[in-house]
Amino acid sequence: MAQLNEQFFDSKDAMTAQLAELLSSTLSDAITTDGRATMLVSGGSSPAPAYRHLSNLPLAWDKVTVAMVDERWVDAEHEKSNEAFINSTLLQNEASGAEFVTMKNAAATAQAGQDECESAYAALKAPFDITILGMGPDGHTASLFPHAQGLEQALQTSELVCAINAKQSEVTGSITERMSLTLAGIANTKHAVLLISGEAKRAVYEEAKQPGSELDIPLRAVLNHPELTLSVFWCP
Ligand SMILES: O=C(O)[C@H](O)[C@@H](O)[C@H](O)[C@H](O)COP(=O)(O)O
């Protein structure tokens, strides 16, 4: 089981304030201690306000590397690109000088681009200082979608990234081809934060803490990981 630190907030604003403080102090401490900081980021509505807040803070951004937790295999200009989302929320203002390591590359498919992406991720300062995760109502986290093609590999491999082809659902929309941190990639961090909004996702989270199939609820594999320190932030 991961070491869980659950924090329940009254509002999204309260969760955002705590997340922004945690990210800022983690980056500052890593820069002081190691000379550099590495932060792995997810898309989604939950972290967006904290990213915007962070982007205005006067950190030594030239010593920060930001990298993606997961990505749809679409170009960076695509409206569903997580890379575009991070560029427009986090990598603005003071934070525009951070290094950005993305997942999407020129390969035609995620499978074909996996080795290049793995090389880029293997070169990151590790363990990562902090990794921000979201979750979907289907129990996916990163792009570890239930019963996806590539999921078993992603849960078993010691590599950091893996191509995933999700089963199409309301949650995935039409773009099912993804690149994702693997379970080992998610665990390759000093501290992870899981952001959960709403009662329905909280119920999925509670179910994921119960014994059961990691293929049905991939978040369960993260919660089961013995070496992970995970803060769980929930707001209504
Ligand atoms: O890549 C995706 O499909 C989404 O980014 C997704 O994984 C998202 O991170 C979660 O569904 C959490 O979303 P919220 O932050 O909006 O709760």
Rounded to two decimals, the ipTM of the complex is 0.93
pLDDT at position 176 is 98
How many helices (H) and strands (E) the chain has is answered by 8, 10
Residue 225 has what pLDDT?
98
- Write down the pLDDT at residue 149: 98
Per-residue pLDDT at 115: 98
Sort 205 into a burial class: Cβ within 10 Å, 0-12 / 13-18 / 19+: buried
pLDDT (0 to 100) of residue 4: 98
Average pLDDT in the 127-132 region? 98
Q: Which residues line ligand 1 (CB under 6 A)?
A: 42-46, 70, 82, 134-136, 195, 197
- Structure tokens given for 221: 């594999």
Q: For residues 193 and 19, is the Cβ–Cβ distance under 8 A?
A: yes
Atom 3 in ligand 1: residue holding the nearest Cα = 172
* R_g over Cα of the chain: 16
CB atoms under 10 Å from CB of 135, counted, come to: 27
φ/ψ bin of 150: left (φ > 0), alpha (ψ from -120 to 50), beta (otherwise) = left
Instruction: Share the mean pLDDT of the chain.
Output: 98
Mean pLDDT of 133-141: 98
pLDDT at 88: 97
Q: What per-residue confidence (pLDDT) applies to 112?
A: 98
> What is residue 26's predicted lDDT score, i.e. its pLDDT?
98
Rounded Cα distance between 77 and 192, Å, is 28
Whose CA is closest to 132, among 38, 220, 58?
Answer: 38
119 band by pLDDT with thresholds 50, 70 and 90: very high
From the CA of 194, how far away is ligand 1's center (Å)?
Answer: 11
Domain boundaries, the chain: 3-235
Tell me the three state secondary structure of residue 156.
helix
pLDDT (mean) for 140-148: 98
Domain 3-235 - what CATH class? alpha beta
Helices (H), 56-187: 82-89, 110-122, 151-156, 183-187
Pocket test of ligand 1: the residue of 9, 12, 16, 46 to mutate, having most ligand atoms within 8 Å of its CB, is 46
Output the pLDDT for position 191. 98
Atom of ligand 1 nearest to the CA of 72: 1
What digits encode the pLDDT tens for the residues 175-224?
A: 999 999 999 999 999 999 999 999 999 999 999 999 999 999 999 999 99
pLDDT at residue 223, as a whole number: 98
Q: Helices 82-89 and 48-55 meet at what angle, rounded to 10?
A: 40
Instruction: Determine the Cα–Cα distance for residues 89 and 86; give it in Å rounded to an integer.
Output: 5
Task: Give the model's pLDDT for residue 118.
Answer: 98
Over pLDDT 90: what percentage of the chain? 100
The arithmetic mean of pLDDT across residues 108-114, rounded, is 98
Predicted local confidence at residue 150, as pLDDT: 98
Q: What confidence score (pLDDT) does residue 30 get?
A: 98
Quick one: what percent of the chain has pLDDT higher than 70?
100
